């Protein structure tokens, strides 16, 4: 006869009793929760019994717990501030019933004595003061009763939706980590990096009938009562429970030979049998490369997949499917499974050491594609379509995306080292670039020391540290011990620095049987570099060279090479590969062909690329202006660009267009991060048969704080604007046709979605005048969704010898003599085009009499919203012209702020003109702002990522 099984509750209670009965212990925290979900109120009522084990050498007078649901409670939490930095204002404007929170009802110890507690300044960390310090190796039992109010999942995936679905992650109190004499206290910033102590946890979770539960914890059993379901969950050596509740049974269990998987991941039209085969394949790969999974099952959810998607073409609409179903499913499943696998088994302080976690995930993804889908292209099936297949983007292998996306921020001087704290990374680096750089680092190391050594290191690291606290140094030590080669550069140069890898061949001395090659380190990162010998597009030799601090010469045997190429296989994430070629035959060192290509493409290091694309412009004098834009801009930013767009004005039947040369120099590790040197020009018509041409050399400098998340920027620009005009004889020109203006401007801005402050000081000098101006803009978004906009402008002529108002300050429509503004009809005084307005100088919306000032002007513009994008505006000011007394001016009206600075309508109501609504031809008084530039509109998206 078999013995009767011991009940789960009995085992758990015995474990607690043993812990409490020990005077000196060395074990895990024990956590027991009874949680009841109120489906109507969207609350969770929790009774928590926590046994805290002090495994440090210090006595602890207080304990700290993570209370991350409280991060949704108001607009001042670290989470709300993080959203504001990313230009998300949803939580800031949320109504009280939409805010999540935690209401602590009682905290007592094992003697039922009350314990005092308080919240941290960040609000989502709780400090519990003990009645007596907790000695080393001792434990204490704490009882906490509280109610968690769930937020809707429109801020983050956490919470509930309107279809009765729930996603619970980091939803109950978890212990903060105490080590090396200090507490690691981290607020919720929607970064998926909760750092908590390892616990043995038992949860009794009660929820409405008719719902289905899935969890990363083991579901011991589920009972049904009259009104509720009751699931018993267990997590041994775990961090926290993740629970997903649906009104339908969406999760299925797959038992593979190596791993049990619970998943709801789906690909449309990918049948269940094929799905099961793919899951077996991926599970075997993970086990072979990491090791056995120590828990009952691995949760692979679609929610986790959406939080960390495969960025790229699979974000296209579902009807555009560039990849085969099998490949897309396996890649999405692999990435989600690896993230979950490592999260549940390696207990890093992810806020500090996230790069190791990312390196393992992305290296194994690179390896998986190399093993099973070596020929997979980045564009998938789109790479074979006529019109696309000629693009270098279409020819790129799938794994080349890692270097490409990492370089997006590196080329913008926005890259950050892998050891940068997770909450100090800009969004694009945190989500994409740094994760990919980490994976590329292991792939790079694998090429250098051998794949077998990296594979052995990963397996050894996982086996030694699974289910234990671990740090990045532990992983680095195992890597360095796996080879006799010196790889200290990997941690010192690649991981801990954001300096760029950039080499070139500065010189080659040829003899009959050898080549003396001088390599130059341009980036300052002293890491190994590979050199390939090429003969007729075939590799005939390969070498690795290291320890090149500045320049170093190496001698290799000559084997019939006709070209030498650094990093030919592009396995090294090098900053600039355009100068990696050296021809051994001929005068031109690069020996790269010129390639003309339609539209913009990725950078092809094998060619000198020139792009052309049709353009179409419009103003009322030139009419429609079709043209051809010719430039060298690739999808990755480059230092030197040229950009020309010759066009044909159909109305004037003449050539028009613009062009420029620009050199941009970025500086690392300095507050002054960029310098721009450019010369540009344009030529269009500003009236019938009247043309203007500008030639403008300029130089500008930019400053930013060390914290790249900050939106604060400063710029100083100097330019020399030269204007040449050919004027129709019927035009009544009141100024000399040609003039030049020296212009200096300092700009200081802090562009936030909640608080926006920007100001500039501008100085101009010409033969006939000198003037200065100051402009300040301020916007404030209040919690009740009221937005206040205030702008102040003041300008003064220091010298004015002009005989017209062409260079004067303007109340409502500057003459734009520097040709900075995109007027559709810049010379119009009547008609619809004269109603276009640019908010500059006076910033008025009403057309007042004598709107110019040739002495000084000071104005204030303000608006406040009534409902959504409907606002009231008002402008007041003083202006003075020589020989006249200063005048007080004002106007007011309604503003439709559809897209701020991009599309707005202004309806004047009352001004110095009187009640404008009752006056004739009111439709001619309506003003509008319109921006047609796609590049400008794209900035609305880019600001959230960069």
The reply to whether 796 falls in a domain is yes
The domain boundary, picked from 562, 591, 620, lies at 591
Tell whether 519 and 442 lie within a shared domain. no
Give the pLDDT confidence score for residue 933 in this predicted structure. 66
- Helices 472-481 and 350-372: crossing angle, nearest 10°? 40
Domain of 75, CATH number, reads 2.60.40.1730
Instruction: Report the alpha-carbon distance of residue 334 to residue 373 in Å, rounded.
Output: 13
Give the pLDDT confidence score for residue 66 in this predicted structure. 97
Instruction: Report the alpha-carbon distance of residue 124 to residue 67 in Å, rounded.
Output: 5
Task: Give the pLDDT band (50/70/90) at residue 783.
Answer: confident
Give the pLDDT confidence score for residue 311 in this predicted structure. 77
pLDDT of 137 above 60: yes
Tell whether 423 and 554 lie within a shared domain. no
C-beta of residue 429 within 8 angstroms of C-beta of residue 414: yes
Tell whether 783 and 903 lie within a shared domain. yes
The domain boundary, picked from 248, 279, 305, lies at 248
Helices H / strands E in the chain, number of each: 15, 49
Which two three-digit tokens encode residue 520? 């130059």
Give the pLDDT confidence score for residue 18 in this predicted structure. 40
Q: What is the mean pLDDT of residues 417-438?
A: 96
Range of the domain at 587: 503-591
Q: What is the mean pLDDT of residues 314-336?
A: 85
- Among residues 573, 576, 606, the alpha carbon closest in space to that of 590 is found at 606
- Among residues 592, 632, 625, the alpha carbon closest in space to that of 611 is found at 632
- Render pLDDT for 252-297 as a digit per residue (tens, 0 to 9): 999 999 999 999 999 888 999 999 999 999 999 999 999 999 999 9
Q: How many CA atoms lie within 13 A of 771 on its CB side?
A: 21
Tell whether 480 and 509 lie within a shared domain. no
Give the pLDDT confidence score for residue 17 in this predicted structure. 42
Give the pLDDT confidence score for residue 505 in this predicted structure. 92
∠ at Cα 667 (666, 671), nearest 5°? 120
The reply to whether 329 falls in a domain is no
pLDDT of 11 above 90: no
Tell whether 832 and 909 lie within a shared domain. yes
Tell whether 454 and 525 lie within a shared domain. no
- Helices 451-465 and 472-481: crossing angle, nearest 10°? 140
The residue whose two tokens read 């949760």 is 299
Which two three-digit tokens encode residue 136? 């080393």
CB contact burial 589-608 (16+ within 10 A = b; e otherwise): bbebeeeebeebbbbbbbbe
Instruction: Report the alpha-carbon distance of residue 553 to residue 529 in Å, rounded.
Output: 13
pLDDT of 107 above 90: yes
Domain of 531, CATH number, reads 2.60.40.10
Tell whether 805 and 887 lie within a shared domain. yes
Domain of 446, CATH number, reads 1.10.390.10
The reply to whether 741 falls in a domain is no
Instruction: Report the alpha-carbon distance of residue 274 to residue 329 in Å, rounded.
Output: 10
Q: What is the DSSP string of 153-193?
A: TTSSSSEE-TTS-EEESS-S-EEPEEETTEEE-----SSS-
C-beta of residue 892 within 8 angstroms of C-beta of residue 911: yes
Distance of CA 779 to the CA centre of its chain: 24
The reply to whether 636 falls in a domain is no
pLDDT of 21 above 70: no
Q: In what helix (H) or strand (E) does residue 328 lie, and over which residues does it extend?
A: helix 325-345
Tell whether 481 and 573 lie within a shared domain. no
In sequence order, the β-bridge partners of residue 691 are 685, 726
The reply to whether 813 falls in a domain is yes
Q: How far is CA 217 from CA 234, 341, 830, 886, in A?
A: 6, 13, 72, 76
The reply to whether 294 falls in a domain is no
Instruction: Report the alpha-carbon distance of residue 295 to residue 298 in Å, rounded.
Output: 7
What is the DSSP-derived secondary structure letter of residue 494?
I
Arithmetic mean of pLDDT over the chain: 92
Tell whether 486 and 521 lie within a shared domain. no
Q: What is the mean pLDDT of residues 144-159?
A: 97
Instruction: Give the chain's length.
Output: 946
- Render pLDDT for 826-870 as a digit per residue (tens, 0 to 9): 999 899 999 999 999 999 999 999 999 999 999 999 999 998 889
**Region of poorest pLDDT, from 88-92, 405-409, 587-591, 720-724:** 587-591
Instruction: Report the alpha-carbon distance of residue 901 to residue 937 in Å, rounded.
Output: 10
Give the pLDDT confidence score for residue 572 in this predicted structure. 93
Q: In what helix (H) or strand (E) does residue 665 lie, and over which residues does it extend?
A: strand 654-666
The reply to whether 865 falls in a domain is yes
- Render pLDDT for 860-876 as a digit per residue (tens, 0 to 9): 999 999 988 899 999 99
Task: Give the pLDDT band (50/70/90) at residue 943.
Answer: confident
The reply to whether 84 falls in a domain is yes
pLDDT of 20 above 50: no
pLDDT of 757 above 80: yes
Tell whether 482 and 511 lie within a shared domain. no
How many domains is the chain built from? 4
Tell whether 365 and 385 lie within a shared domain. yes
Task: Give the pLDDT band (50/70/90) at residue 686.
Answer: very high
Alpha helix (H) residue ranges in 466-522: 472-481, 488-489
Phi and psi torsions of 606, nearest 5° = -85, -5
The pTM of this model reads 0.92
∠ at Cα 699 (696, 705), nearest 5°? 140
Tell whether 435 and 526 lie within a shared domain. no
The domain boundary, picked from 495, 527, 562, lies at 495
């Amino acid at each position: 006869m078999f013995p009767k099984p011991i009940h789960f509750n009995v085992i758990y209670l015995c474990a607690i009793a043993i812990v409490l009965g020990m005077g000196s212990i060395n074990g895990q925290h024990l956590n027991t929760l009874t949680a009841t979900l109120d489906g109507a109120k969207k609350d969770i009522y929790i009774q928590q019994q926590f046994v805290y084990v002090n495994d440090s050498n210090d006595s602890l007078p207080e304990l700290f717990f993570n209370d991350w649901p409280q991060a949704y409670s108001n607009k001042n939490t670290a989470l709300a501030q993080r959203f504001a930095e990313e230009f998300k204002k949803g939580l800031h404007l949320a109504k009280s019933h939409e805010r999540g929170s935690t209401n602590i009802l009682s905290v007592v110890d094992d003697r039922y004595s009350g314990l005092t507690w308080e919240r941290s300044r960040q609000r989502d960390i709780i400090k519990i003061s003990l009645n007596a310090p907790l000695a080393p190796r001792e434990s204490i039992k704490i009882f906490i009763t509280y109610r968690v109010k769930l937020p809707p999942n429109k801020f983050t995936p956490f919470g509930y939706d309107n279809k009765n679905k729930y996603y619970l992650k980091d939803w109950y109190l978890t212990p903060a980590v105490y080590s090396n004499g200090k507490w690691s206290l981290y607020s919720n910033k929607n970064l998926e990096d909760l750092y908590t102590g390892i616990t043995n946890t038992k949860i009794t979770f009660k929820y409405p009938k008719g719902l289905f539960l899935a969890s990363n914890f083991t579901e011991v059993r589920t009972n049904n009562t009259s009104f509720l379901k009751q699931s018993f969950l267990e997590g041994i050596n775990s961090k926290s429970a993740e629970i997903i509740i649906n009104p339908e049974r969406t999760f299925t269990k797959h038992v593979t030979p190596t791993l049990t998987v619970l998943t709801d991941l789906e690909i449309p039209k990918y049948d269940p049998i094929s799905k099961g085969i793919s899951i077996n394949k991926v599970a075997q790969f993970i086990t072979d490369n990491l090791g056995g999974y120590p828990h009952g099952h691995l949760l692979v959810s679609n929610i986790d997949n959406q939080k960390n998607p495969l960025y790229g073409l699979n974000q296209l609409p579902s009807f555009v499917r560039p990849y085969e179903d099998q490949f897309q499913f396996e890649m999405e499943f692999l990435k989600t499974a690896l993230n979950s696998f490592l999260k549940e088994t390696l207990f890093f302080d992810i806020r500090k050491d996230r790069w190791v976690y990312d390196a393992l995930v992305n290296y194994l993804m690179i390896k998986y594609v190399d093993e099973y889908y070596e020929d997979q292209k980045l564009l998938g099936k789109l790479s074979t379509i006529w019109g696309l297949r000629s693009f270098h983007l279409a020819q790129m292998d799938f794994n080349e995306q890692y270097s490409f996306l990492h370089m997006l921020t590196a080329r913008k001087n926005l890259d950050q080292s892998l050891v940068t704290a997770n909450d100090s990374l800009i969004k694009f680096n945190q989500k994409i670039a740094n994760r990919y750089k980490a994976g590329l680092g292991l792939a790079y190391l694998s090429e250098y020391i051998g794949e077998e050594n990296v594979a052995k290191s990963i397996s050894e690291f996982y086996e030694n540290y699974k289910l234990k606290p671990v740090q990045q140094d532990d992983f680095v030590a195992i890597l360095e011990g796996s080879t006799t080669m010196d790889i200290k550069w990997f941690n010192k140069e690649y991981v801990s620095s954001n300096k760029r890898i950039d080499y070139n061949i500065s010189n080659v001395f040829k003899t009959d049987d050898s080549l003396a090659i001088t390599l130059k380190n341009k980036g300052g990162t002293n890491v190994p570099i590979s050199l390939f010998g090429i003969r007729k597009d075939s590799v005939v030799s390969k070498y690795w060279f290291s320890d090149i601090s500045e320049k170093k010469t190496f001698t290799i045997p000559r084997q019939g090479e006709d070209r030498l190429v650094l990093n030919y296989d592009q396995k090294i994430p090098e900053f600039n590969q355009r100068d990696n070629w050296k021809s051994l035959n001929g005068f031109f060192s690069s020996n790269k062909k010129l390639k003309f290509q339609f539209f913009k493409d990725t950078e092809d290091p094998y060619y000198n690329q020139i792009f052309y694309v049709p353009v179409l412009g419009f103003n009322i004098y030139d009419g429609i202006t079709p043209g051809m834009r010719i430039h060298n801009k690739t999808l990755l930013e480059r230092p030197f660009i040229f950009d020309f767009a010759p066009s044909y004005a159909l109305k004037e039947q003449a050539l028009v267009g613009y062009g420029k040369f620009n050199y941009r120099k970025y500086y690392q590790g300095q507050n002054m991060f960029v310098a721009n040197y450019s010369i540009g020009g344009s030529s269009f018509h500003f009236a019938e048969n009247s043309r203007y041409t500008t030639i403008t050399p300029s130089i500008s400098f930019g400053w930013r704080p060390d914290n790249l998340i900050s939106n604060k920027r400063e710029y100083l620009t100097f330019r020399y604007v030269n204007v040449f005009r050919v004027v129709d004889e019927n035009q009544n020109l009141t100024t000399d046709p040609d003039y030049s203006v020296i212009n200096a401007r300092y700009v200081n801005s802090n562009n936030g979605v909640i608080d926006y402050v920007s100001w500039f000081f501008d100085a101009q000098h010409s033969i006939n005048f000198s003037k200065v101006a100051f402009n300040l803009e301020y916007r404030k978004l209040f919690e009740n969704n009221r937005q206040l906009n205030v702008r102040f402008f003041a300008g003064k002529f220091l010298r004015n010898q002009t005989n017209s108002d062409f260079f004067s300050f303007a109340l409502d429509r500057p003459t734009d003599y520097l040709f900075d503004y995109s007027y559709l009809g810049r010379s119009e005084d009547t008609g619809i085009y004269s109603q276009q307005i640019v908010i500059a100088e006076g910033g008025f919306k009403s057309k007042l009499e004598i709107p110019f000032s040739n002495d000084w002007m000071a104005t204030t513009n303000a608006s406040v919203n009534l409902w959504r994008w409907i606002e009231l505006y008002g402008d007041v000011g003083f202006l003075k012209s020589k020989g006249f007394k200063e005048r007080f001016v004002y106007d007011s009206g309604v503003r439709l702020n559809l897209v701020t600075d991009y599309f707005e309508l202004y309806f004047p109501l009352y001004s110095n003109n009187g009640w404008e609504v009752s006056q004739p031809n009111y439709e001619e008084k309506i003003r509008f702002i319109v921006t047609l530039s796609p590049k400008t509109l794209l900035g609305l998206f880019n600001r959230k990522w960069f």
